[in-house]
Amino acid sequence: MRPLLILLFALLACTSRAASPQLLLDVARFHNEDMAVKGAIVEIYATVPGQSLTYMRRAPKAFQAAAVVTLEVLKADGKPAYQETITLKPPVLSDTSIALKNPVSFQKRIALPDGQYTLRGKVRDQYRAGQETTVEVPLILEAGAKKASLSDIVLLSRPAAKSPAQNSFARGGYNLVRTPGGLYARGTSQIFFYTELYQAPQGQPLSVRYKLVSEEGAAAEAEVQLDQAAAGRPTPVVGELPLGPLPSGKYTFTMEVRDSKKQLIATQTTHLQRDMEEYAPSGASSN
């Protein structure tokens, strides 16, 4: 019995187990700049929280986790329009007892024609057999009328930074660091965001109004002037909004673009959550 107990304790010392792996899927739809193509550019942001993974000892004071993620976009008939499997590895830890383990993220940008789709994500813990989680998100793409409109709002964990980089995390000349699942945790004093305005009227000042409203009625709002892009090109809209004393809870975030006569010309809405009790990891590493 004694050798068996020693072996058991040795195995426990080499791994840090977690519950079933978690997967967060965030999706944003943008116009395809090729006007001849009816469809959209879809950005898929998949995040696996570090707490949900098993960490395996690889060397003294070196523990590694890995998640195998499969992303699929399925057409209405069930046939795949896109499919990819990647292995995500968060940073190596020297101590698995720490309370916060950084998440790891993957972002993919694909072009899809108009239609109804289902985004399906599956995550499997590479170091724990039988642990798999599936998440599905409905996705509708349809070409709008030729009038002013906003893309989906991308919620960020830090201000959008000007960048010449050309990668899946850059858009409109900005480097974008998302906040997975729209969560703003303890220690966060404001929200940051990015969207794009299409078919903006030229030759007149435009303003953007931001409004954040909770299910209980708590609210914050602000209004800024908008610098327009050249005619025929998307206008990046970046900004931030202080959270101030707003309590924990679920919020609806609305953006409104108004013309010089204060008439509404475009609007977009998304949802986020504030949690003032729990700290969130500093950010996701990317693969």
Contact by Cβ (8 Å): 148, 169: no
Structural domains for the chain: 1-143 (2.60.40.10), 144-287 (2.60.40.2550)
Residue 1's contacts (CB-CB under 8 Å, 6 or more residues apart) are none
Contact by Cβ (8 Å): 119, 71: yes
Dihedral sign, Cα of residue 43, residue 44, residue 50, residue 51? positive
Contact by Cβ (8 Å): 248, 274: yes
Nearest to 31 by CA among 114, 119, 106: 114
User: In a structure prediction context, what are the per-residue pLDDT tens digits for the chain, which is 287 residues long?
Assistant: 443 333 333 333 344 455 789 999 999 999 988 777 788 999 999 999 988 899 999 899 899 999 999 999 999 999 999 999 999 998 888 887 775 678 899 999 999 999 999 999 999 999 998 889 999 999 999 876 678 999 999 999 999 999 888 887 889 999 999 999 999 998 889 999 999 999 998 888 999 999 999 988 878 999 999 987 677 789 999 999 999 889 999 999 999 999 999 999 999 999 999 998 876 654 454 55
Torsion of CA 24, 187, 247, 52, to 10 degrees: 30
Q: What angle do CA 145, 147, 151 make, to 5 degrees?
A: 85
